[in-house]
């Protein structure tokens, strides 16, 4: 099979290789997926650049979509020919989705409705599941989102775009932080009602102005290194909740007194490592949304497998609006 891989950390143009690798065989409980697309996420870029290699060769990317071509023992033959999207394709395993085939546990290949194309399917594993889990946790921590104000950081990002749609579907009001008017328009099309241009506007001041001084009921956040301070400065209402899935800094100073005296809470989660119960719940809700065609998908650019280094560099640059997908 044709595949892309790297055998050392480094810049994409220096370490990415494209060539032939053996096609995997599905083992017991596994399916073999003939991939049509592979999604490229920031975590893939970070892994290639700095995560120590546990294997001699890494085929990157956790997300992808395609058709089941074969099954291992214990898996119903009825699944052959099924359109699917995959999650955790390269989580704690060396061979991900940046290849023509992937063999992985049957439960990691999820039915993809005919109304959702393979490019969108390649956006479900990390962007889609992160978004739906964030909204599920927001509801768990803060209750029904209908009528509540939710601050979504990076509302135009791959994950933020889906979060904005899902909060809107749940009846919440979305205030989003964005970096440009182009990104604001992208987020507004997904349901965002108010934009905060975080590069030029003080986020806590703007949130308070938009909420009559109260702050947001919930913050769904991808950068706790900034949000820890924003919440303490009034961006989060008393008894409000932060649902966080990322940070631009590994060491974060938390202003404890305002968090304590306003009884604010925070819940962190890693989409790769959900509990089995949370995984099933998130998969079920996301599948329902896809079946009902409720989500708008945004593909920033598609690349060929031979352009894998360029695709990684595009993600690193952060200028594209929408997901980066490789046609394999």
Q: Compute φ and ψ for 157, nearest 5 degrees.
A: -70, 170
pLDDT by residue (tens digit) across 54-107?
999 999 999 999 999 999 999 999 999 999 999 999 999 999 999 999 999 999
Largest CA distance in the chain: 61
pLDDT at 310: 97
Q: Helices (DSSP H) in 53-180: which residue ranges? A: 118-121, 129-142, 158-169
Residue 92 lies in a domain: yes
| C-alpha triplet 189, 195, 201: angle, nearest 5° | 155
The answer to whether the CB of 89 falls within 8 A of the CB of 63 is yes
How far apart CA 87 and CA 268 sit, in angstroms, is 20
Q: Compute φ and ψ for 142, nearest 5 degrees.
A: -115, -5
Residue 78 lies in a domain: yes
If asked whether residues 99 and 201 sit together in one domain, one would say: no
pLDDT at 299: 97
Domains of the chain: total: 2
Asked whether the whole model's pTM tops 0.95, one would answer yes
Q: What average pLDDT does the structure give for the chain?
A: 97
- Span 280-308, average pLDDT: 98
If asked whether residues 42 and 135 sit together in one domain, one would say: no
pLDDT at 130: 98
pLDDT by residue (tens digit) across 113-145?
999 999 999 999 999 999 999 999 999 999 999
Q: Which of 206, 209, 251, 250 is nearest to 230 (CA)?
A: 206
The answer to whether the CB of 127 falls within 8 A of the CB of 323 is yes
If asked whether residues 95 and 207 sit together in one domain, one would say: no
Print the domain residue range for 221.
130-272
If asked whether residues 64 and 113 sit together in one domain, one would say: yes
């Amino acid at each position: 099979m044709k595949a892309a891989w790297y055998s050392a950390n480094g810049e994409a143009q220096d370490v990415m290789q494209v060539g032939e690798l053996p096609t995997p065989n599905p083992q017991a409980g596994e399916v073999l997926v003939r991939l049509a697309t592979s999604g490229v996420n920031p975590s893939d870029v970070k892994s290639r650049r700095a995560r120590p290699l546990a294997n001699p060769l890494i085929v990157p990317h956790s997300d992808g979509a395609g058709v089941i071509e074969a099954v291992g023992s214990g898996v119903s033959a009825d699944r052959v020919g099924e359109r699917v999207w995959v999650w955790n394709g390269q989580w704690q395993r060396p061979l991900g989705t940046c290849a023509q085939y992937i063999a992985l546990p049957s439960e990691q290949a999820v039915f993809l409705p005919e109304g959702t194309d393979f490019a969108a399917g390649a956006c479900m594993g990390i962007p889609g599941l992160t978004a739906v889990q964030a909204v599920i946790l927001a509801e768990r921590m803060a209750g029904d989102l209908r009528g509540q104000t939710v601050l979504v950081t990076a509302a135009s990002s791959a994950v933020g775009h889906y979060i904005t749609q899902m909060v809107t579907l749940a009846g919440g009001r979305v205030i989003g932080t964005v970096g440009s008017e182009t990104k604001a328009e992208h987020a507004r099309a997904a349901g965002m009602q108010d934009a905060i241009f975080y590069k030029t506007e003080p986020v806590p001041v703007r949130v308070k102005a938009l909420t009559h001084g109260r702050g947001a009921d919930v913050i769904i956040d991808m950068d706790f290194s900034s949000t820890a301070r924003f919440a303490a400065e009034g961006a989060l209402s008393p008894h409000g909740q932060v649902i966080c899935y990322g940070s631009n800094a590994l060491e974060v100073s938390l202003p404890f007194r305002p968090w304590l005296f306003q009884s604010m809470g925070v819940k962190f989660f890693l989409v790769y490592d959900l509990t089995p119960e949370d995984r099933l719940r998130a998969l079920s809700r996301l599948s329902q949304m896809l079946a009902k065609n409720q989500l708008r998908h945004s593909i920033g650019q598609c690349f060929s497998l031979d352009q894998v280094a360029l695709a990684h560099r595009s993600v690193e640059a952060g200028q594209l609006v929408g997901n980066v997908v490789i046609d394999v």
